[in-house]
Structure 1
Amino acid sequence: MKLLITGGTGYIGSHTVVELLTLGHEVVIVDNLSNSSPLVLDRVEQITGQRPTFIEADICDRIALEAIFFEHSFDAVVHFAGLKAVGESNEIPLSYYHNNVSGSVTLFEVMAKFQVKRLVFSSSATVYGESNVSPLHEQMPISATNPYGRTKLMIEEILFDLAKSDEAWSIISLRYFNPIGAHKTGLIGENPNGIPNNLLPYVAQVAVGRLPQLQVFGDDYNTPDGTGVRDYIHVVDLAIGHVKALESLADIKGCQPINLGTGNGTSVLDIVKGFEQVSGKAVPYQVVPRREGDLATVYANAELAERLLGWQAKFSLTDMLADTWRWQSENPDGY
């Protein structure tokens, strides 16, 4: 297949590009590099022996997108591009709505104009909101508690309406849980700008000496050790989930949401202890008050992914932590 990958130099996008190139697909990446590095392209080429076509452009730029679709005949689109920090979304909500929602609408309009109506969308488990009880499944009502989550929710609603209006569309909306890990080569991994928003990059940067200590937000939840429990999934498992989704689009009519998770929950302190074991480094931490909106326990029911996509998470938690440490220790300052 010839595929357009928006946000393809980002964390999940780059790992997905590696899997697609390895399988012989033709990849065109569109990314504005606002949260990624062009060095990713060199690393992808090192891993696969192939350099994907790269176009620096913004999904909000209709003229640029139309020129790309005019030049290339795509079979499908994988849409990763978007701002993704929950805390930042509270501070600059208009940027999130403009970039994520308006940019996605522009992309979908251009796709429709050029009759490219197969799409895999990068959604999030944040769309399950606060009221659903884990394990979370796709039939549950969706809601959101922050601007970032609302952008994912709005885009999903747009896609449901789009698919209802035109039966030619085949769309899979993949709801990720908590991606961690890195490629086994240590060449590509998660490389956040500034202070990390997610747990694992923060833990890794403490272990490598870039940050002094981890902040654990609350130890009084109703969980085995009092800290928050989440469903951590290896980024390569997640990338393979996108490949399986692309391969399954021909059998999908309308817009189908599908969870990608392991179905298992792991606490913050279990992550810290596990990381200390694989790295041999101490990860000092300080317990601070809970963050508003954080839930005690979030994990997936991933049965639909197995049934519709033939996909299951394969990597263990130890694999995820060891691969994170390999990436961080070999790239202490990122790309």
Structure 2
Amino acid sequence: MNILLTGGTGYIGSHTAVALGQSGHEVTLLDNLSNSDTAVIDRIAQIIGKRPSFVHGDVRDTALVRELIKVHSIDAVVHFAGLKAVGESVAHPVDYYANNVQGTVSLLQAMQAESVKSLIFSSSATVYGVPQYLPYDEDHPTRAINPYGRTKLHVEEILHDVAQSDASWRVACLRYFNPVGAHESGLIGESPRGIPNNLMPFIAQVAIGMRSELQVFGDDYPTPDGTGVRDYIHVMDLAEGHVAALDYLNGRPGWSAINLGTGQGYSVLEVMQAFERANGCAIPYAIAPRRSGDLAAYYASAEQAHKLLGWSAKRSLDEMCASTWRYYQTGV
């Protein structure tokens, strides 16, 4: 199949491009490069042995998206493009609604005009909000508590309405938990601009000497060691989940929401200790006050992904840590 990946040079997009390419699909990457670099295209080519098509542009440019769908004979779209930092979304909600919601509407207009009606959406566990029970399963009420999460939830609702209006649409909303790690080659991984919003790249930057210590936000949560617990999933497991979802959508009209997680929660200190163990590094850290809006713990029920997609996460926390360190040692 010919697959369009919006946000295709980003962290998850680039790893999914590899997984799709290695599964025999032709990929076209669309990205405005606001949080990525074209160097990743060469690295993808090194891994899969073929350079993917790349278009520099914004998903909000409906005419451009229509044109590339036609030129590249696109059969399905995987939609990653969007902003993703919770704190930034609180400070700049208009930017988040413009990028994440308006961008999706533009994409849908282009797809509809070109009669391409198969879509995988990069959603998030943030749609659930404060846990009413754990693990989160797909029946858990959705009640996002910040603008970022609300943009994801609004897009899910839009996609549900689209699928309800036209039985030929095939839509899967994949609710990610906490993607970490890098491709085993060390060629692609997560290298955020500025101060990382996520734990693993922050730990890696401390390990490699870019930062003096890890700040652990809160050690008084009702968790085994007092630090926040999250469901960390290796980015290549996540990428392979998209390949499985694409196969699942083939011939299955309608809308689905599916968690992609491991079903296992790890605390901040457990992740830090795993990184030290996997890579022989010492990670200096300091306890800082809790961040506003952080949850004590959340993790997935991954049963639906196994049942519907035949997919489950395979890679361990130690593999997540080792692959991250391998990527940082390449000099990113």
What are the superposed Cα offsets for residues 136-175 of structure 1, whole Å, 9 maximum, x if unpaired?
Answer: 0001110111111111011001011111111111100000
Cross-structure match for 1:8: 8
Counterpart position of 1:218: 218
1:159 is matched with 159
1:274 corresponds in structure 2 to 274
Matched with 1:285 is 285
> What SS does the corresponding residue of 1:191 show, helix, strand or coil?
coil
Corresponding position of 1:20: 20
Distance 1:3 1:251 in 2: 16
Report the count of equivalent residues.
332
Aligned equivalents of 1:185 and 1:288: distance in 2? Answer: 35
Q: Is the 1:130–1:293 Cα contact (8 Å) retained in structure 2?
A: no
For residues 55 and 23 of structure 1, the distance between their equivalents in structure 2, rounded to whole angstroms, comes to 22
Matched, 1:228 2:228: yes
CA distance in 1, matches of 2:301, 2:291: 25
Say whether 1:111 aligns with 2:118: no
| Structure-1 separation of matches of 2:160 and 2:132 | 21
Deviation of 1:279 after TM superposition, in Å, equals 2.0
- Residue 250 of structure 2 aligns to a residue whose secondary structure is helix
| Alpha-carbon shift at residue 258 of structure 1 (Å) | 0.2
Alignment RMSD, CA only?
0.9
- Give the secondary-structure state (helix, strand or coil) at the position aligned to 2:262: coil
Structure-2 separation of matches of 1:308 and 1:142: 21
In the alignment, the residues of structure 1 paired with residue 48 and residue 136 of structure 2 have an alpha-carbon distance, to the nearest angstrom, of 35
Identity of aligned residues (%): 59
Q: Is residue 141 of structure 2 the alignment partner of residue 145 of structure 1? A: no
What one-letter code is carried by the residue in structure 2 that aligns with 1:159?
L
Q: What amino acid maps onto 2:14 in structure 1?
A: S
Offset at residue 70 of structure 1 (A):
2.7
CA distance in 2: counterparts of 1:69 and 1:180, whole angstroms: 31
Partner of 1:194: 194
Shift of 1:251: 4.5
Matched residue of 2:173: which SS? strand
Q: Equivalents in 1 of 2:329, 2:219: separation in Å? A: 29
TM-score, with length taken from structure 1? 0.97
138-147 vs 308-317, which moves further = 138-147
Shift of 1:291: 1.1
The equivalent residue for 1:46 is 46
Instruction: Write the distance in 1 (CA, Å) between the matches of 2:140 and 2:19.
Output: 31
- Using the alignment, how far apart are the partners of 2:300 and 2:276 within structure 1? 26
Distance 1:131 1:315, change over 3 A: closer
* 8 Å Cα contact 2:63-2:110 kept in structure 1: no
| Secondary structure, counterpart of 1:55 in structure 2 | strand
What's 2:315 paired with?
315
Query: Could you list the runs of 5+ residues in structure 1 that have no partner in the other structure?
Result: none
Which residue does the alignment assign to 1:37?
A: 37
- State the 4+ residue runs in structure 1 displaced beyond 3 angstroms: none
Deviation at 1:72, TM superposition (A): 2.5
Question: Per the alignment, in what secondary structure is the counterpart of residue 329 of structure 2?
Answer: helix
Q: Which residue of 2 aligns with 1:244?
A: 244
Q: Deviations over 1:88-147 (max 9, x none)?
A: 111111111001100100101110111100001000000010143210000111011111
| Contact kept? 1:258, 1:304, Cα under 8 Å | yes
SS at match of 1:184: coil
Instruction: Please list, as runs of the form range in 1=range in 2, the aligned pairs for 1:56-135 lying within 5 A after superposition.
Output: 56-135=56-135
Contact 2:74 2:116 in 1 (8 A): yes
SS of alignment partner, residue 171 of structure 2: strand
Show structure 2 runs of 5+ residues with no match. Answer: none
Q: How far 1:281 moved relative to its partner?
A: 1.7
Distance 1:108 1:151 in 2: 16
